[in-house]
């Protein structure tokens, strides 16, 4: 095994499994069936959740529909909605430790990152609260003295929110407070692998006084819960984050009713490194970009495109830093990289690495599972592959693991072509001290977000989303809020000056 930095295993008491129920019309409902989640790092049962059926999903949709029609939420003023969202934000802050610990046990991510994810999410709720009060339409007072035009924005209606396992609390908070700020009612389906933090948030919503039926939660699998939430005629919009393959299924299911669909999907996000860049900072950002959340991150920078003149030395620096990143027990607060979400996924990561080597890539570091004494085998070594060419699967497909592919370039145009030679377009990054290089790159690459001389910074104010097969629609920021609104034009004739269409008989 290469010389890596492995953090100490922390002794923990065997966790009492969290019991997750559906939240339907303000009531907690035990499922007729349940499913268990085993911690990827410790191999212990950490939650037992209701496994949703079609009829439970129907009940949740009916509750959301009836809450929407009753105006118990959409009829409130923005100030009233904001007051509830701000209470939720305060409750999140007061419950970070409990939610984060459960999220780490279910997902395998380091506890420090779970704390950051949950603690940081309250700011999304506060920002959404500000939009509930300040959102507005347009008025047109220049249509002539006999006409006033008003564009009003109304809640889309009943929204299904379907989320993945990699950032369960954060991704829910990128959607739910914005949908609620707009006046929508919702049904949430978290991933079957990480359902508990969503249930805990449901408890906080009730404590904050959200009216019954405004936010419903159905736990369980894509079939039948997720697909029904997408296809149902009483649902007006689906907001989905997950894999591109399931995103396509959801789009098909939505086509029956032509409901609105917003998709946040996969990525194959490149960082391009020029010789004039701050190479020490770039190397650190590359290591952060590929190992954060064990590479199980839509924004993972799983491929780097490095200028030929500096490629060898840059890769050596990335390897040195990779060996210093602390892998291991997610419950240790010092750990930076935890466990892989499932054993099957670990096998898939390894198969990608093997296939890349067979295709001619050079293994510079890692390339094997990482057994941790006392915790088992569901970890993967930090892995660096050089000599990757654009045609290899490892350069084109989302691996979703701690695996970095290194490609090289000579000119800016060549680098831009390589960035855009992908079905994905989520994010991209450029490292150069030359502002012209950074601006030309930012303008020409096909991506929803471009980072220059940084990686994966984000703010509630700045919208997020992908192009091409990375998705459609936007989250957070003002644009994310607008996704949950529909637009209506109202034309008002002033006075009685309308010219008759029918010629009057004398």
Q: Which residues bind ligand NAD (CB under 6 A)?
A: 162-167, 171, 189, 191-192, 221-222, 226-227, 230, 241-243, 246, 249-250, 264-267, 298, 398, 426, 466, 471
Please say if 254 is a catalytic residue: no
Question: Is 297 annotated in the active site?
Answer: no
Cα–Cα distance for residue pair 270/168, rounded to 1 Å: 24
The CA dihedral of 255, 256, 258, 260, to the nearest 10 degrees, is -70
CB of 201 to ligand NAD, least distance (A): 15
What is the distance between the alpha carbons of residues 36 and 328, in angstroms, rounded to a whole number? 24
Instruction: Answer whether 218's CB lies under 8 Å from 225's CB.
Output: yes
CB of 317 to ligand NAD, least distance (A): 27
Minimum distance of ligand NAD from residue 250's CB (angstroms): 5
Find the catalytic residue in 264, 475, 482, 483: 264
CB 182 within 8 A of CB 70: no
Pairing of strands 383-386, 362-365: antiparallel
Query: What is the C-alpha separation between 275 and 432, in angstroms, rounded?
Result: 7
Question: Smallest gap, in angstroms, from Cβ of residue 338 to ligand NAD?
Answer: 16
Asked whether 422 and 264 are in contact (CB, 8 A), the reply is no
From the CB of 300, what's the least distance to ligand NAD, in Å?
A: 8
Burial 58-77 (b: 16+ CB within 10 A, else e): bbbbbbbbbbbeeebbbebe
Alpha-carbon gap, residue 243 to 288, rounded angstroms: 22
Decide whether 62 or 246 has the Cβ nearer to ligand NAD: 246
Can you tell me the distance from the alpha carbon of 61 to that of 216, in angstroms, rounded to the nearest whole number? 8
Give the nearer residue to ligand NAD in terms of CB position, either 1 or 258: 258
347, 379 contact by CB (below 8 A): no
Q: Which of 254, 297, 298, 438 is catalytic?
A: 298
> Closest CB to ligand NAD among 74 and 216?
216
Strands 34-38 vs 45-50: parallel, antiparallel or unpaired: antiparallel
Q: Least Å distance between CB 206 and ligand NAD?
A: 22
What is the dihedral sign for C-alpha 396, 193, 218, 176?
Answer: negative
Q: Which is nearer to ligand NAD, 344 or 503 (CB)?
A: 344
Catalytic residue positions? 264, 298
């Amino acid at each position: 095994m290469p010389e890596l930095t492995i953090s100490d295993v922390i002794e923990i008491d065997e966790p009492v499994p969290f019991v997750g129920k559906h939240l339907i019309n303000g009531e907690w409902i035990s499922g007729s069936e349940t499913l268990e989640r085993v911690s990827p790092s410790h191999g212990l049962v950490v939650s037992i959740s209701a496994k949703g059926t079609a009829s439970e999903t129907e009940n949740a949709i009916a509750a959301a529909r009836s809450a929407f029609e009753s105006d118990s939420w959409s009829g409130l003023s923005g100030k009233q909605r904001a007051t509830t969202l701000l209470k939720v934000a305060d409750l999140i802050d007061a419950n970070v430790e409990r939610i984060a610990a459960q999220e780490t046990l279910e997902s395998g991510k380091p506890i420090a990152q779970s704390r950051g994810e949950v603690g940081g999410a309250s700011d999304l709720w506060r920002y959404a609260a500000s939009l509930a009060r300040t959102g507005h339409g347009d008025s047109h007072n220049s249509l002539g003295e006999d006409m006033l035009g008003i564009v009003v924005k109304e809640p889309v209606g009943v929204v299904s929110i379907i989320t993945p396992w990699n950032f369960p609390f954060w991704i829910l908070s990128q959607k739910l407070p914005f949908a609620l700020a707009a006046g929508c009612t919702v049904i949430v389906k978290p991933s079957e692998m990480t359902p508990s933090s969503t249930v805990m948030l449901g408890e906080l919503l009730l404590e904050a006084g959200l009216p019954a039926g405004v936010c419903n939660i159905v736990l369980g699998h894509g079939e039948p819960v997720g697909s029904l939430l997408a296809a149902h005629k009483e649902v007006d919009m689906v907001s989905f984050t997950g894999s591109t393959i399931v995103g396509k299924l959801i789009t098909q299911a939505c086509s029956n009713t032509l409901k609105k669909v917003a998709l946040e999907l996969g990525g194959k996000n490149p960082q391009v490194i020029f010789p004039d860049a701050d190479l020490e900072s770039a190397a650190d950002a590359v290591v952060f970009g590929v190992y954060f959340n064990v590479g199980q991150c839509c924004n993972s920078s799983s491929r780097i495109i490095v200028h030929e003149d500096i490629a060898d030395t840059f890769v050596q620096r990335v390897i040195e830093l990779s060996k210093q990143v602390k892998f291991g027990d997610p419950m240790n607060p010092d750990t930076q990289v935890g466990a892989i979400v499932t054993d099957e996924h670990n096998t898939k990561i390894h198969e990608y690495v093997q296939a890349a080597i067979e295709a001619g890539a050079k293994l510079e570091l890692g390339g094997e599972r990482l057994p941790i004494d006392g915790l088992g085998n569901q970890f993967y070594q930090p892995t660096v592959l050089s000599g990757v060419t654009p045609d290899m699967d490892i350069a084109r497909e989302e691996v979703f693991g701690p695996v970095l592919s290194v490609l090289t370039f000579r000119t800016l145009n060549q680098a831009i072509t390589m960035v855009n030679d992908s079905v994905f377009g989520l994010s991209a990054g450029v490292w150069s001290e030359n502002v012209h290089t950074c601006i030309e790159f930012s303008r020409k690459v096909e991506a929803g977000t471009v980072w220059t001389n940084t990686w994966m910074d984000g703010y509630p104010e700045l919208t997020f989303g992908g192009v091409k097969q990375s998705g459609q629609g936007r989250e957070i920021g003002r644009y994310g809020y607008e996704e949950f609104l529909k637009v209506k034009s109202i034309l008002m004739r002033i006075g009685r000056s309308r010219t008759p269409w029918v010629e009057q008989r004398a």
